[in-house]
Amino acid sequence: MERRLAAILAADVVGYSRMMAADEAGTFAALKARRKEVLEPLVAKHRGRIFKLMGDSAFVEFGSAVAAVECALGLRKGFSASNNGLPPERQVELRIGINLADVLVDGGDLYGDGVNLAARLQETADPGGICVSAKVQAEIAGTPGLVVRDLGERQLKNIAQPMRVFSLLDGAAASQPAAPPAKPATPKPEAFAVKPAVAVLPFLNMSGEAEQEFFADGLTEDILTELSRFRDLFVTSRNSSFKYKGKAVDVQQAARELGVHYVVEGSVRKAGKRVRVTVQLIDAETDHHLWAERYDRDLEDIFAIQDEVTAAIVSTLAGRVEAASRDRAQHKRTENMAAYECLLAGKTPNVPSSSTRPMPMRMRGGPASWASPGPMAGPRTATPTGRRCSANCRRHWRSTTTTATSIASCRRSLSRRASTTGRPTIRSAPSASTRTTTSSSCSRASS
């Protein structure tokens, strides 16, 4: 079979399916006119050959990389001129990719990785953009008036190794500074302000046997499913977690991208008729292990083992996450004095309403001091109403975000308590301008 070196240009129309759905006849006529008026004359001018047309896609062969690049620049300019005066929904834009490679020749068609790479480069380009491979960039380096921007290495679809990709810019785009890389979208903390958030990363198959991959993936999915049954946990979806499969993962970076507090990871190993599963629970904020365990089983019924190990892991894991979440809340410092006063009012034991003794405000010790009895503690400790009020205030106090609604709920609990016990409710919440003074007074009182 014949082989030859060729520069392959792959072009595709942006939003073709959307345009066809809106106006089939008009879109087909516009595309046919662009081919006849813009594409075919430019290909002939640069001595190229269209060897494949597929709907909105075109593949063109050139004898040199420079000719392919010059044709691509002409296509971009020609299509842009043809779009003048058209509404945005009817404008026809191209994505173009160019690769230089040794290809197989079969009659009038070309095959091989070189053609596939050109198509993948086209998919990487922005609307109206042109992306080229490193080989093409080396051939056109130093060409006057041509600006090339390095996009770095990209993992292209169905291509084993990452490829270095370059973008060809026109004069207007070249004068603009490169846009910073987009930050991955992170869920807002309010989405799981009350619930601890957990991500289960794909378990690693360390046995070296491809047939064991399904066991590791199945175990990961089962753990995700079982953890999702706990209403007090926020668990990320399978698709979000499995995008890290086969990658060396920075746990803290993955947690930031997924917006979670805790990460579960593990591995599966098989030796003869035995299988070993290890699992770790990691606090993403500190990157410390909160819990780790190893499970060894005889490999007889693969699904029975999978169910048994999943049940053992989940039964322990959920409790560990909740305990870690409680510890995190207990060490959280106050950011809202009004919420803190609601908490203290709820914890203060009941006294006769005629009492003029001041409310203890022991802030200096932090959350650890709340459990110790205050100076007013004695035989008359909190009634059931007081305990419910305290629990309600503590729940809002420990919430990640304290809102006006949370404070209002605390005040309603205190009012109900006052109507039951005759104890007066707390004063109004301090304003932002007086919180500093209040904090200082509390510190002096605790001394």
What residue segments make up the domains of the chain, in order of their start? 2-174, 189-330, 337-371+379-446
Fold type of domain 2-174: Alpha-Beta Plaits (3.30.70)
User: CB count, 10 Å around CB of 167?
Assistant: 20
Q: What is the pLDDT along the chain (447 residues), one digit of tens a residue?
A: 788 999 999 999 988 888 888 888 888 888 899 999 999 999 999 999 999 988 889 999 999 999 999 999 999 999 989 888 888 888 888 999 999 999 999 888 899 888 999 999 998 898 899 999 999 999 888 788 788 888 888 888 878 788 899 999 865 444 444 444 444 444 444 444 457 788 899 988 887 776 678 888 888 888 888 888 887 778 888 888 888 888 778 888 888 888 888 888 988 888 888 888 888 888 888 888 888 888 888 877 777 777 887 787 777 777 777 777 777 666 666 666 676 677 677 666 554 444 444 444 444 444 444 444 444 334 334 445 445 555 555 554 444 444 555 566 666 666 665 565 555 444 444 444 444 444 444 444 443
| Among the listed residues 110, 206, 205, 124, the one whose alpha carbon sits nearest the alpha carbon of residue 162 | 124
Q: For residues 49 and 16, is the Cβ–Cβ distance under 8 A?
A: no
Place of tokens 């597929």: 54
| Secondary structure string (H, E, C) spanning 216-277 | HHHHHHHHHHHHCCCCCCEECCHHHHHCCCCCCCCHHHHHHHHCCCEEEEEEEEEECCEEEE
pLDDT digits (tens, 9 = 90+) for 310-368: 787 777 777 777 777 777 666 666 666 676 677 677 666 554 444 444 444 444 444 44
pTM greater than the 0.85 cutoff? no
| CATH number for the domain running over 189-330 | 3.40.50.10610
Q: What is the pLDDT of residue 390?
A: 52
Closest CA to 226 of 294, 287, 299, 279: 279
Say how far apart CA 372 and CA 21 lie, in whole Å.
70
